[in-house]
C-alpha cells in the first residue's frame, strides 16, 4: 500500500510541477508585459512597478522567477483580474465551487437514473425492455450536451415555464458565501425566507444538472447492464439457484453486490467528464462557474484570469483522477494482483 501511495504522490507532484511551469510560461507567451500578466496590475506607478518586479524577481533568472511564482501561488497571491480588479484566488475559488457543485448534482442524477435502468436492462437481457433501453441510451449518448441544454430551455423554461432560464438563484436572495455549494450555504445562512430560497435554488439546478447528466446516465446504464449480465451468468449464481434460492434472493444477495464492486470505481471516474461538460453548459445557463468565467476571460482578454483558471481546473481534474486511481488500486484486490505477481 505504501508503495502505491508513494508512486501516485510522486506522479501527482511531478505533473503539478509541469502544470505550474506551463502556467508561469503563459505570462511570457501572452502579449504585453509579463509582470502585468502575472500580477494583473496595469495602472501602477513607477515605484509600485519596481516593488512588484522585486517581489516576482523579474530581474533574476527564469528559474528564480518561477520559484517566486510558485511561492505566491502557495500563499494565495494569484494576482488580480483585468476585468473585475478582484483577487483571482477568491474569484476562482467561488467559480470552481459552483462548477464542482453542478457536476456533483449531475453525477447524483446519473446514478439515480442510470443504475436502476442498468439493472433492469441487464435482468431483461435480449428482451424488449433491454432493446428499448439500449436504443434510448444510444440516442442519449449521441445528443450533444449544448444541444440538450438548448432544447431543455426551449421546452421547460420558455414553453412550459417550469424552471428558470438562467442563473444560480433569484436576485431576491443574497446568500452569504460559506462553502460555495449554494444549497449548503442557504442551510447555513440566517436568511428569514430560507425555505423559499432553497426551493428557488433547487429549481435553478434542475435543468443544467439534467442536461449534463444525460450522457453520463447512458454510460452508467450500459456499464451496469454489462456487469449485471456477466454476474448473473456466472457459476456461483447458478449454484445459488441450485441451492433453492428464489430469483429475488439470488439477485439481492449475490447479484447487486458483485455487480457494483467492479463498476463503482469506473462510474466515479465519470466525474471528470461531468466537470468538462459542465463548463459547456455553464455558458448556456449563465451559471457562475469556472467554465463560464474562462469564456468571459477569453472574450475580455483577461490574461491573468485565463492563466489562473486553466491551472485551477487542470490541477483539480488531475488530483481527482490520480486520487481515485490510487484508492482503486488500494482497495481493489484485482488491481493489486499484477503488481504482486511481478514483485
Measuring CA to CA, which residue among 333, 213, 336 is closest to residue 270? 213
In degrees to the nearest 10, what's the CA dihedral of 137, 139, 142, 148?
-100
Confidence of residue 335 (pLDDT cuts 50, 70, 90): low
Instruction: Write down the pLDDT at residue 342.
Output: 40
Query: How crowded is the C-beta side of 121, counted as CA atoms within 13 Å?
Result: 24
Instruction: Write down the pLDDT at residue 154.
Output: 92
In a domain, 53, yes or no: no
Confidence of residue 340 (pLDDT cuts 50, 70, 90): very low
Instruction: Write down the pLDDT at residue 117.
Output: 92
The answer on pLDDT for 85 being more than 80 is yes
Instruction: Write down the pLDDT at residue 156.
Output: 92
Instruction: Write down the pLDDT at residue 125.
Output: 84
d(CA 250, CA 38): 62
Specify which residues 87 forms β-bridges with.
Answer: 80
d(CA 88, CA 110): 32
Q: How confident is the model over 221-255, as pLDDT tens digits?
A: 888 888 888 888 888 888 888 887 787 888 887 77
Instruction: Write down the pLDDT at residue 332.
Output: 64
Determine the average pLDDT of the residues in 146-161: 90
In a domain, 37, yes or no: no
Measuring CA to CA, which residue among 182, 132, 188 is closest to residue 287? 182
In a domain, 13, yes or no: no
DSSP string, 185-205: HHHHS--TTHHHHHHHHHHHH
The answer on pLDDT for 73 being more than 60 is yes
In a domain, 38, yes or no: no
Cβ neighbours around 295 below 10 Å, total: 15
Q: Are 225 and 135 in contact (CB under 8 A)?
A: no
Q: How confident is the model over 259-293, as pLDDT tens digits?
A: 777 777 777 677 777 878 888 888 888 888 888 88
Instruction: Please give the tally of structural domains in the chain.
Output: 1
CATH of the domain at 142: 1.10.3720.10
Handedness of CA 191, 197, 198, 204 (dihedral sign): negative
The answer on pLDDT for 333 being more than 60 is no
Measuring CA to CA, which residue among 60, 22, 102, 9 is closest to residue 291? 102
Instruction: Write down the pLDDT at residue 155.
Output: 93
The answer on pLDDT for 339 being more than 50 is no
In a domain, 166, yes or no: yes
Confidence of residue 126 (pLDDT cuts 50, 70, 90): confident
In a domain, 115, yes or no: yes
Measuring CA to CA, which residue among 320, 139, 118 is closest to residue 227? 118
The answer on pLDDT for 49 being more than 70 is yes
Residues 6+ apart with CB under 8 A from 264: none
Specify which residues 80 forms β-bridges with.
Answer: 87
Q: Are 98 and 316 in contact (CB under 8 A)?
A: no
Instruction: Write down the pLDDT at residue 253.
Output: 79
In a domain, 125, yes or no: yes
d(CA 338, CA 144): 38
Confidence of residue 343 (pLDDT cuts 50, 70, 90): very low
> Which residues constitute the domain of residue 232?
91-301
In a domain, 21, yes or no: no
Instruction: Write down the pLDDT at residue 341.
Output: 42
Q: How confident is the model over 182-221, as pLDDT tens digits?
A: 888 888 888 888 888 899 999 999 999 998 888 888 988 8
Determine the average pLDDT of the residues in 22-44: 85
Amino acid at each position: 500500500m505504501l508503495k502505491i501511495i508513494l508512486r501516485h504522490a510522486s506522479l501527482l507532484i511531478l505533473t503539478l510541477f509541469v502544470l505550474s511551469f506551463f502556467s508561469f510560461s503563459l505570462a511570457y507567451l501572452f502579449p504585453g508585459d509579463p509582470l502585468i500578466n502575472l500580477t494583473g496590475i496595469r495602472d501602477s506607478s513607477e515605484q509600485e512597478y519596481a516593488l512588484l518586479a522585486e517581489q516576482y524577481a523579474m530581474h533574476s533568472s527564469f528559474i528564480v522567477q518561477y520559484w517566486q511564482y510558485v511561492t505566491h501561488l502557495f500563499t494565495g497571491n494569484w494576482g488580480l483580474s483585468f476585468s473585475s480588479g478582484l483577487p483571482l484566488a477568491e474569484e476562482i475559488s467561488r467559480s470552481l465551487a459552483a462548477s464542482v457543485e453542478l457536476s456533483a448534482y449531475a453525477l447524483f442524477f446519473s446514478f439515480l437514473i442510470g443504475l436502476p435502468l442498468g439493472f433492469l436492462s441487464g435482468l431483461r437481457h435480449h428482451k424488449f425492455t433491454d432493446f428499448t433501453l439500449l436504443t434510448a441510451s444510444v440516442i442519449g449518448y449521441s445528443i450533444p450536451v449544448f444541444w440538450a441544454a438548448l432544447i431543455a430551455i426551449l421546452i421547460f423554461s420558455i414553453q412550459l415555464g417550469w424552471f428558470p432560464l438562467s442563473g444560480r438563484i433569484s436576485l431576491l436572495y443574497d446568500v452569504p458565501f460559506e462553502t460555495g455549494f449554494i444549497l449548503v450555504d442557504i442551510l447555513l445562512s440566517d436568511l428569514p425566507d430560507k425555505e423559499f430560497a432553497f426551493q428557488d435554488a433547487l429549481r435553478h439546478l434542475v435543468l443544467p444538472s439534467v442536461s449534463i447528466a444525460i450522457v453520463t446516465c447512458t454510460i452508467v446504464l450500459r456499464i451496469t447492464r454489462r456487469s449485471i449480465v456477466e454476474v448473473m451468468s456466472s457459476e456461483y449464481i447458478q449454484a445459488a439457484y441450485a441451492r433453492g434460492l428464489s430469483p429475488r434472493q439470488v439477485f439481492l444477495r449475490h447479484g447487486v453486490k458483485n455487480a457494483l464492486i467492479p463498476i463503482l470505481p469506473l462510474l466515479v471516474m465519470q466525474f471528470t467528464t461531468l466537470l468538462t461538460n459542465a463548463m459547456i453548459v455553464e455558458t448556456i445557463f449563465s451559471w457562475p462557474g469556472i467554465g463560464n468565467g474562462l469564456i468571459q476571460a477569453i472574450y475580455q482578454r483577461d490574461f491573468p484570469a485565463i492563466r489562473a483558471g486553466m491551472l485551477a481546473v487542470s490541477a483539480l481534474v488531475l488530483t481527482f483522477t490520480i486520487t481515485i486511481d490510487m484508492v482503486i488500486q488500494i482497495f481493489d484486490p484485482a488491481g493489486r494482483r499484477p503488481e504482486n505477481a511481478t514483485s
